[in-house]
Structure 1
């Protein structure tokens, strides 16, 4: 169920049987000239929609966090970069409030790579409060399976663009993209190094993206996400005995 749809009375009633909240987290930033600036928001939102249809009776879907940290893409037009410190503190405060509201399990469903270091800190701080925390970075956690469907992944690459096309083909145009590969050691950083690392603001073979591939990715990853949720509940409930 969606938290925003609930009345206070219904919310209070639901908490008697639901102890898990899912927080979608994204970013507004450049994804090449071919993909929506909201790609990292659209994809978690679509996962939530599909998850709600399958397990909405066990998970409360919280309103999304649409802004995150993107140091590498900050030099590009359309990127709204929030400092790592402000972002991590904000997400922690949200999680802390859900804990105060009685939720014992929280899922941080992340759609943006630049958020990962901050969320690692948030995860530990929420765990120290007594929460059980599952963080999902879909393109990292399920990379092996993704490569069976899309061979040219990357920021705004074949996988992300396909997922966006599966939501709405008006949100991306792969004919405007090609195949950008990393030509610089990504471990090296210097001022505005993202401009060199991300040619035209994306990486990967976005030109090979299709809505059909995106649909296959959603179907495949949905089962993996549910499996991770089952692991979360197993850990949580086993710890009670």
Structure 2
């Protein structure tokens, strides 16, 4: 709790000497019949906390608990921000963090509909404050599959909204909120090389894709371990480099940004 801003007094914050912050961005939407509506927020926030516990000087910001979820609206209960609203919220949170003196920010995203707004908001803040460093894990569900052995998951590479991978990580992080007896999903027939901009109701009638019945807490813990390790290693490496990722032929030098 010592690095969570909402739990701190002003004195504790000043004593903390924070130079980095991590922001979880989630959603409140249906996750089938077996996962809580706040799954995306719960996963991203708990991953963020685990990262911050291992990184010196990292502050955990309050999570953004509602995302851009209009494409899931056929399945109740669903809350959604317009993309422009989420962009504005993200910009305000990032801007406030920068104004508080923290210029290294990591975004832990938990929901597919947030990816584009995060990109737009981050680029805008970067142009407004060129010295700021912003990094993000846009799709942990993709990254985990890339980091784990290919035989970790049984169906569809563990993918899916409330599918094998997401249900597994929920079982690892908040098993008390999962009702596996209601787990069921659909593996959609989608092309491998082209991304279709689907409405979720076109893919499933259960509120879930993939096969959540194959989920286990053991698989989920493996996902947590590789994701946290990857982000922690990234941040520590960047700290060691002074967050200087500029090339030797950059048009703008670090410290002379304009």
The 5 A counterparts of 1:57-76 are 57-76=56-75
The answer for the alignment partner of 1:77 in structure 2 is 76
Q: Secondary structure at the match of 2:206?
A: helix
Query: Which stretch has the larger CA shift, 121-130 or 156-165?
Result: 121-130
Counterpart Cα distance in 2 of 1:163 and 1:172 = 11
Q: Which is richer in helix?
A: 1
Counterpart in 2 of 1:125?
124
**Mean Cα displacement is larger for which, 111-120 or 230-239?**
230-239
CA RMSD in angstroms, aligned pairs only? 2.1
Matches within 5 A, 1:97-112: 97-112=96-111
Match in the other structure for 2:243: 236
Asked if residue 173 in structure 1 is aligned to residue 179 in structure 2, the reply is yes
User: Which stretches in structure 2 are left out of the alignment for 5+ residues?
Assistant: 246-253
Does the C-alpha gap of structure 1 residues 211 and 240 become closer, same or farther in structure 2, counting only changes over 3 Å?
same
TM-score, normalisation: structure 1:
0.89
User: How much does 1:149 deviate?
Assistant: 2.5
CA distance in 2, matches of 1:165, 1:172: 7
Once residues 79 and 32 of structure 2 are traced to their aligned partners in structure 1, the CA distance between those partners, rounded to angstroms, is: 15
Kindly state the Cα deviation for residue 188 of structure 1 after the two structures are TM-superposed: 4.8
Which has the larger displacement, 91-100 or 210-219?
A: 210-219
Report the secondary structure of 1:32's partner residue: coil
Deviation at 1:139, TM superposition (A): 1.6
Distance 1:45 1:149 in 2: 24
Question: What is the aligned partner in structure 2 of residue 225 from structure 1?
Answer: 231
1:9-55: CA deviation from partner (whole Å, max 9, x where unpaired): 332343xx421111111001111111111110111122133223322
Give the TM-score, by structure 2 length.
0.83
Shift, 1:65, TM fit:
0.7
| Inter-partner Cα distance in structure 2 for 1:91 and 1:32 | 27
Give the unaligned 5+ runs of structure 1. Answer: none
Contact residue 27 and residue 112 of structure 1 kept, 8 A: yes
Q: Which has the higher mean CA deviation after the structures are superposed, 162-171 or 180-189?
A: 180-189
Deviations 1:195-238 (A, max 9, x none): 12233111111110011111121112111111222344336256
Any idea what SS the aligned residue of 2:243 has?
A: helix
- Partners of 1:108 and 1:136 within 8 A in 2: yes
Partner of 1:136: 137
Which residue pairs with 1:162 in the alignment? 168
Tell me if structure 1 keeps the 8 A contact 2:185–2:204.
no
Alpha-carbon distance in structure 2 between the residues aligned to 1:161 and 1:98? 32
**4+ residue segments displaced more than 6 Å:** none
SS at match of 2:21: strand
Count of matched residue pairs: 235
Cα deviation code 1:176-206 (max 9, x no counterpart): 22341113566155xxx32122331111111
